């Protein structure tokens, strides 16, 4: 990674076997750094795409939600538009893997995110590794959000979320992509299920707050490695990341403290 040439590398191999590089969850920065308001780019999306073709993240200055699908980086902006982003685009947080599903399942009708998450967890062979998840299908209902570009001094993410734009679509085709991570990854990534949405016509998308599955195929890709690039920038190095930000994370990622879920 050019932008992190002097960066610190933590590679965690969960087994003693020679590791397939394609089964690594690769990320730049940490979710706690993002929660703390560290929104300056630490890598270009081109750098990160070397490590995977599916994933999620955000952009410099927290400018919207990122979807990575089939190696293409999409930006869902606060005003509801969608852009395909060039390789030079910067990111403060991005997680990807090379998607090769270990199992593809037909999901039953599932009425909300919690029901889908519980169903998915019932099909995971272990709760102690991370998985990339790709859901292609028809959604009876989906609620998703994006966030506005921030200005310095950057506020913490929980304050950004208070001004999020929430969108809802009914009877829509599309793809959900993201990760299920074990509890012990909390703080570095999001424990549990974290998904972003991209419509089949590539016109809308964002961070998934709720979804009702009608007819969907679910691909699950086991990852047995975790590669975290920590940003060697003052904003990160000088941040106080010692606190447990679990409740802020829950509010920020799962919409637990939405002031107003009205559609924009
Ligand atoms: Zn998200």
DSSP notation for 15-34: SSSPPPGGGEEEEES-HHHH
Lowest mean pLDDT among 18-22, 145-149, 211-215, 257-261: 257-261
More confident residue, 243 or 35: 35
Query: Is 50 inside any structural domain?
Result: yes
pLDDT of residue 248: 83
Query: Is 259 inside any structural domain?
Result: no
CA of 94 to the centre of ligand 1 (A): 10
Closest CA to 248 of 31, 20, 9: 31
Query: Is 19 inside any structural domain?
Result: yes
CB contact at 8 A, 7 and 231: yes
Confidence of residue 65 (pLDDT cuts 50, 70, 90): very high
CA of 237 to the centre of ligand 1 (A): 24
pLDDT of residue 250: 81
Question: Cα–Cα distance between 93 and 28 in angstroms, integer?
Answer: 5
- Report which secondary-structure segment, H or E, holds 129: none
CA of 53 to the centre of ligand 1 (A): 17
Percent of residues, the chain, with pLDDT higher than 90: 83
Q: Total structural domains in the chain?
A: 1
- Report which secondary-structure segment, H or E, holds 1: none
pLDDT of residue 21: 67
pLDDT tens, position by position, 67-120: 999 999 999 999 999 999 999 999 999 999 999 999 999 999 999 999 999 999
Q: What letters, b where the CB count within 10 A reaches 16 and e where it falls short, cover 209-222?
A: bbbbbbebebbbbb
Q: What letters, b where the CB count within 10 A reaches 16 and e where it falls short, cover 8-44?
A: eeeeeeeeeeeeeeebbbbbbbbbbbbbbbbbbbbbb
pLDDT of residue 19: 55
Query: Is 261 inside any structural domain?
Result: no
The average pLDDT across 171-197 equals 97
The average pLDDT across 18-22 equals 63
Question: Tokens 């993240």 appear where?
Answer: 57
pLDDT of residue 264: 32
Query: Is 264 inside any structural domain?
Result: no
* Structural domain harbouring 48: 2-254
CA of 206 to the centre of ligand 1 (A): 7
Q: Which residues pair with 98 in a beta bridge?
A: none
Task: State phi, psi for 160 to the nearest 5 degrees.
Answer: -65, -40
Query: Is 122 inside any structural domain?
Result: yes
CA of 109 to the centre of ligand 1 (A): 23
pLDDT of residue 1: 43
CATH number, domain with residue 144 = 3.30.1330.80
Neighbours of 234 (CB within 10 A): 9
CA of 28 to the centre of ligand 1 (A): 14
The average pLDDT across 45-49 equals 97
Confidence of residue 15 (pLDDT cuts 50, 70, 90): very low
Query: Is 262 inside any structural domain?
Result: no
């Amino acid at each position: 990674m050019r932008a992190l040439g002097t960066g610190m590398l933590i590679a965690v191999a969960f087994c003693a076997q020679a590791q397939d590089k394609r089964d690594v969850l690769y990320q730049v920065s940490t979710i706690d750094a993002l929660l703390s308001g560290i929104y300056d780019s630490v890598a270009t999306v081109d750098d990160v795409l070397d490590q995977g073709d599916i994933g999620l993240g955000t952009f410099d200055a927290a400018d919207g939600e990122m979807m990575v699908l089939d190696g293409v980086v999409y930006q869902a902006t606060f005003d509801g538009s969608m852009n395909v982003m060039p390789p030079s685009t910067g990111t403060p947080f991005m997680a990807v893997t090379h998607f090769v599903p270990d199992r593809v399942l037909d999901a039953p009708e599932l009425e909300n995110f919690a029901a889908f998450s519980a169903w998915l967890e019932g099909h995971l062979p272990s709760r102690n590794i991370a998985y990339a998840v790709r859901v292609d299908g028809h959604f009876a209902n989906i609620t998703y959000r994006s966030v506005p570009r921030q200005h310095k001094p950057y506020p913490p993410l929980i304050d950004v979320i208070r001004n999020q734009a929430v969108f809802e679509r009914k009877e829509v085709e599309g793809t959900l992509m993201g990760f299920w991570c074990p509890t012990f990854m909390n703080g570095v990534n999001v424990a549990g299920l974290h998904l972003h949405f991209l419509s089949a016509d590539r016109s809308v998308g964002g961070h998934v707050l709720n979804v009702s599955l009608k007819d969907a195929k679910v691909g699950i890709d086991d990852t047995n490695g975790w590669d975290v690039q920590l940003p060697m920038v003052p904003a990160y190095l000088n941040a106080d990341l010692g606190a447990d930000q679990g409740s802020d994370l829950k509010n920020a990622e799962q919409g637990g403290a939405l002031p107003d879920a009205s559609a924009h």
